[in-house]
Amino acid sequence: MSDLVIFGLFFAAVAIGWILGQRQRNSADASGQYFTGGKRKPHQLVIPPTDSFAEALAVDDGSTQSRIAMGVQMRRRGEVDGAVRIHQDLAMRTSLPTDEAAQVRLELARDFISAGLLDRAEELLLQLVEEFPGQREAARRHLLEVYEIERDWRRAIDVATDLLPRKLQPGRRTPAIPTGRNQRAALLLAHYCCELAEEQRLAGQLEVARKLLLSALSRDKQCVRASILLGQVEYDDGRYRHAVQALRRVRIQDSAYLPETIELLRKCYAALGEPAVLRDYLAECLAACPTAALVAAVADDMVQAEGRDAAGVFLAAQLQDYPSLPGLSQLIGLQLGASDANSREDLAVLQNLTQRLVAARPTYRCGHCGFAGKHLHWNCPGCRHWGSIKAIEGPGGP
């Protein structure tokens, strides 16, 4: 058995142990979440699990705040009908102080969102924006939730723009740099523009899509998604150098997303007849911010430029510093074509093993909630955060 096969089996065994350890740790972390909770506000009533609206009322002390809290607890347990009944009953009271009346309506809107009654939620939230300044920002943020579910990106853009102070509004000559909550609103705006731009691109409206993406970058200069999409729009429009310019901006914005640009860059440089420029760029990126995905991309280009043997030597050396299962599988594939019959059979078994390991594990993970999957989602399916998912780096990563 060749040294490569022995090394590969050892590497695969280590990778299996590492992956199983990660799963066990994640499982333990998830279990712990059932026994620890966030800090409760003083008015939040701790309600034991009950199966009926009547039983919940039995622990009520009669105060507005306790009833609001009761409805919130019921909603969190999935008893949305009970939550709606409690909050609707409170909303009908004309004697409530303004701040409590606004709070009740906000919670009722949240109940409607949980129940999927988005039109009723929107109506309440718009009323809060107009009539209750103290809940205006919270109402707008829940309106964004409604419009995200409905994929109504134009309205989402309007509401997110209203969340920004005037000095950060579009059209200012020297807009300030957003921070804190404003930074979050700017990030949302950029992603909403990207969503709308993607719809326009698929509809063939490239100029409209281009303007939306430039608008996204004006709101959030670090929006990697806007640069990648702009590169696609420029490529679709035959403006290959503009596409390259947009895609190479990603290295400055967030180098973790560099692998997402490689395939389109390869097409652009092929159309320009400049494959050597791409090789130089990838080598430069690898030296500045080395990752397993970049190693694999450089090796792919070396196969075309210098042959399989040179690519294999390069990849074997790089795997010592940046080990990855996909990289090992790539190396085995390069060795298969240059091996004798006996070694080829062993290598084929090893490649099948590594490919199955790669297929069984996620490629991307959310930095906010830990959601993992095989595809890059700009809006995390787990926690609904935008721009929080990146490629997994490490022995099992891409």
pLDDT digits (tens, 9 = 90+) for 305-352: 888 888 888 998 888 888 888 888 888 888 887 666 667 778 888 888
Residue of 56 and 94 predicted with greater confidence: 94
Question: Is the per-residue pLDDT at 268 higher than 70?
Answer: yes
For 116-155, the DSSP string reads: T-HHHHHHHHHHHHHH-GGGHHHHHHHHHHHHHHHT-HHH
Cβ within 8 Å of residue 129, ≥6 positions away: 136, 139, 140, 143
User: What average pLDDT score do residues 84-99 get?
Assistant: 94
| Structure confidence at residue 62 (pLDDT) | 60
Q: Evaluate whether 151 touches 195 at the Cβ level (below 8 Å).
A: yes
Question: Is the per-residue pLDDT at 43 higher than 70?
Answer: no
Residue of 340 and 44 predicted with greater confidence: 340
The pair phi, psi for residue 223, each rounded to 5°, is -75, 95
| Structure confidence at residue 251 (pLDDT) | 95
pLDDT tier at 35, thresholds 50, 70, 90: very low
Cα distances from 214 to residues 173, 183, 203, 228, 286, in angstroms, run: 15, 17, 18, 12, 28
User: What average pLDDT score do residues 125-136 get?
Assistant: 95
pLDDT digits (tens, 9 = 90+) for 300-317: 888 878 888 888 889 988
Residue of 315 and 224 predicted with greater confidence: 224
| Structure confidence at residue 32 (pLDDT) | 36
Per DSSP, what are the bridge partners of residue 386?
Answer: 379
Q: Determine what percent of the chain is predicted with pLDDT higher than 70.
A: 78
What is the number of other CB atoms lying within 10 angstroms of the CB of residue 388? Answer: 18
Q: Could you give all domains of the chain from N- to C-terminal order, each with its CATH number?
A: 41-150 (1.25.40.10), 180-289 (1.25.40.10)
| Structure confidence at residue 301 (pLDDT) | 84
3-state secondary structure of 365: strand
pLDDT digits (tens, 9 = 90+) for 140-153: 999 999 999 999 99
